[in-house]
Each structure stands twice: as structure tokens, then as C-alpha cells.
Amino acid sequence: MSARGYFITGTDTAAGKTHAARLLVEALKLRGLRVAVMKPVAAGIDADGMNEDVRLLMSASNVAAPLGLVNPYCFAPAIAPHLAARLEGVSMQLEVIEQAYAQLAVQADVVVVEGAGGFLVPFNDACGMDAIPQHLGLPVIMVVGLRLGCLNHALLTAEAIRARGLILAGWIANRIDPHMAATADNLASLRSILHAPCLGEIPWQGDAAEDLGNIDSLLQQVFLPRK
């Protein structure tokens, strides 16, 4: 496969994976790269029959690709994907995701792959979402939703990533709770204990330009420099 790929996971559901993934895509595009996106599994659809996270990711990408490649598995109920698949009588297979990823990779310089839920959310009866970056051989970027409890969630997720032989390429801090106490102290703790580069901080309801600047200024730690 010709493209570099990265798997975006979060410390929990609603940690801000999609927003962070879009910022990564935009920052990579600024470097003159062709950036494909992928959401292998999604649950919950809008009035047009499409998952909103998938729609947002596709709107950021500069690689045109069929919906079936970007989002091989999509289910109507907004519940845990393996339960939604069971309700619809679908048996999700890693090989389907691998084939879709391979087709995206030949069109792009980088493929940004967003997971569903947290890192260990079940994929099917045999494995969890963690099997996707393992199967595709992707380093992982972790989005830390900054709220009470995030230190434990971040450490557990990082430990799970490394225990599976995967590379934690970096992490992004996302301020999802505007009332979180001691935010700066928590960020300092995360920087000292995660042993991975912080790729940026996303402020509470920051504007798009500010968010992108925060991510873009630190991406050189992991990604290619601008062309």
C-alpha cells in the first residue's frame, strides 16, 4: 500500500474524534498532501440516510472516493456498532475493511482512519475496534477528551494501544468540558505521563481557524513537513 495511514481513537465516546480527525486532514492538506478519509464502522444516520461523522470527514478530504470505501459498515441505530450490526443481521469482517483501505491508499499520500467509540469497543463477536489498526498496521493517534477522569481514561487507552504492539504516534487534547477544574494541571500531567507527543490542543468551542492553527503548528512531530 502506497499511503501512510493513521488510526484515530478516543478516550471515550464523544471525546471529539471526528473534529480532531478533520483538523488533521486540513493540516495535512496544507502540506500539499492527498488525504483520504475512512470511517470503517458507523452507527446512527441522519435524515438523508448518512452518518454525520462520515459526512464531515468526506467534506474535509481532497481525495474523492465512493461512500462504500469510506464507510464500509453503516447502521441505522445509534448504538454500539456490534449491537447495531447484530440487529441488522450483518457479520462485520476485517477483510472488508482491509480491501476498502487498500483501494483508498493507492489514491492518497495519507489515509486518516477514524474508529468508532473507544479503543476497545467490540467490532464483532471475536474482536474489538483495536483489531482494525492491528490488521492494517496503522500507528494510533489518541484524542483525549478533557474532563474529570481523563487521566485514567488516557492512561488506560495508551496502555491498551501499546500492549497490542501498536505505535502511539501522538495525542490531541480536546476541551470537551468548559467547567473542568485544573485543566492546565491535567494537561501538564498528560504531557509528563503519556510518553508520546502532544499534537495540539483544541479549545472549548474554538473557531475553525484557531483549532487548525493549534494542530498544524505541532504536526511536524509526526507528519511530513509542508511541500
* Annotation says 29 is catalytic: no
48-68: burial string, b at 16+ Cβ within 10 Å, e else: eeebebbbbbbebbebebeee
Distances (CA, A) of 136 to 3, 30, 72, 183: 12, 25, 15, 35
Q: Does the pLDDT at position 16 exceed 90?
A: yes
Catalytic residue among 17, 29, 39, 227: 39
Distance CA(196)–CA(116), nearest Å, equals 22
**DSSP secondary structure of 182-225:** THHHHHHHHHHHS-S-EEEEE-TT--HHHHHHHHHTTGGGTSPP
Mean model confidence pLDDT for the chain:
90
119 closest CA partner among 101, 111, 131, 137: 131
Distance CA(44)–CA(160), nearest Å, equals 27
pLDDT in tens, 46-79: 988 899 999 999 999 999 999 999 999 999 999 9
Q: What's the whole-model pTM score?
A: 0.91
Residue 199 or residue 52, greater confidence: 52
pLDDT in tens, 182-198: 999 999 999 999 999 99
Beta bridge partners of 37: 112
Mean pLDDT for 126-134 is 97
For 4-221, CATH gives 3.40.50.300
Q: Radius of gyration over alpha carbons of the chain, in Å?
A: 17
Domain range annotation of the chain: 4-221
What is the CB neighbour count within 10 angstroms for residue 11? 29
